[in-house]
Structure formats: C-alpha cells, structure tokens
Amino acid sequence: MAEPAVRNGLAAPAPSGHPISPTPVPAPPFLPESDRTLEVRALNAVQDAAARPPLVRVARGMSLFGEHAGGWLAIGLLGAAVDRSRRRDWLIAAAGVAAAHGASIAVKRVVRRPRPQDPSVRVLVGTPSRLSFPSAHTTSTTAAAVLYGRLLGRPLVPALVPPMALSRLVLGVHYPSDVVVGSVLGAIVALGSRRLGRRRGVSR
C-alpha cells in the first residue's frame, strides 16, 4: 500500500499524481527517539547505496505493480484461468493474497504510524495514504510468494520478497521495521489460508 510523500511533517508533492494533503503528520509517539534515529540511519544507508536512477525506476514499477496487491491478484486470476484443473487452488491462493493485503491495512489503521518524514529521507514515489506500518506491498508480496510458489513448485520467497522490501526502502516510503513486519504478517496469513483451503477440501 502506498502513501503520499512526507517531509518535515508535511505531505509533499509526489510524482504519482495522488492528491496530497497539507495536514501536519505527528511523530509516532510509541517509538523512542533513539529507535527512530536508528531506523532513519538504516534508511539513509539504503538510499545512499541503492537510490540510483535505474534502480529507482525499477522500484517505482514494482510499487505500481504491488499497489493494492493488484499485480499479484491478477497473476492469481490468470493462474485460475490457465490451470483449470487447479482452478480452485489458484482462487484460494488469490484470496489469501487479498486477505494479507486487507490484514496489513487493518494493522495500519490501528497503529497509525506515519511514513518516514525526516528531512534526510528522499521520498521518491507518491502514495495514497500516510500510514506506514506495516508495508502492505511487502505483506501481499510475501503471501503471493508463499501461496503461488507452492502451486508452481518453486521457492519464490527469496526471489520476490527481498526485492520488494528493498524497493520500499529505496523509495523512502517505509522504515526497515515496516517491511520486516509486513513480510512476517504476509507469511502468517498465507499459511493460514493454506490450512483453511485444505480443511475445506477435506470437507468436500
């Protein structure tokens, strides 16, 4: 899930064209100053090392693909259309991805952690909301990697999750802890979806 760029406590113009609100964004009260500084430093290090124009372009493409889990849901529906013998399995997997995305949005609305707003952080993409924790992109990507990887018989998690997590840091729209927790949440929802699917299959 993406959000408007934030700098110095104010929503700043972003290249995506999303409407921007000038409402000040308060600092997260639950995160000590020392911890915020540590995460900002880690984010600075990632951007200093990787935020080069070619990689930023790729990261923006990944951001668009993962917005609202749209790309992953499309792949699940395509799998259901092509692999008709396992149509039900693909639809359950796609539903698991949707559930993971929904879970990340629910957590965001409870925690309400603002996106990075330190002036040293370069915000390189627009986002539809200001909430940061956890990363919905990483949550849905992890769920898709677990669920689709099982159907394809391939270990997709190491191939898909680290690049998506890194892209969110390169673009300056998430703290490291956002993507770590998002990945954990996506894996939990995916495993729960698999178990639910197996139970329903047995009941039939």
CB 108 within 8 A of CB 131: yes
pLDDT higher at 9 or 64: 64
Q: Is the dihedral of CA 44, 49, 52, 56 positive or negative?
A: negative
Indicate whether 15 pLDDT > 90: no
∠ CA 30-136-191, rounded to 5°:
105
Share of the chain above pLDDT 90, in %: 75
Nearest in space to 165 (alpha carbons), one of 76, 43, 38: 43
* Structure confidence by residue, pLDDT tens digits, 144-197: 999 999 999 999 999 999 999 999 999 999 999 999 999 999 999 999 998 887
Residue in this structure with the two tokens 């018989």, named with its chain if needed: 153
Whether residue 134 is predicted with pLDDT greater than 80 in this model: the reply is yes
Tokens of 1: 């899930």
3-class SS of residue 114: strand
Measure the CA–CA gap between 3 and 5, rounded to whole angstroms: 6
Tokens read off for 8: 């110095």
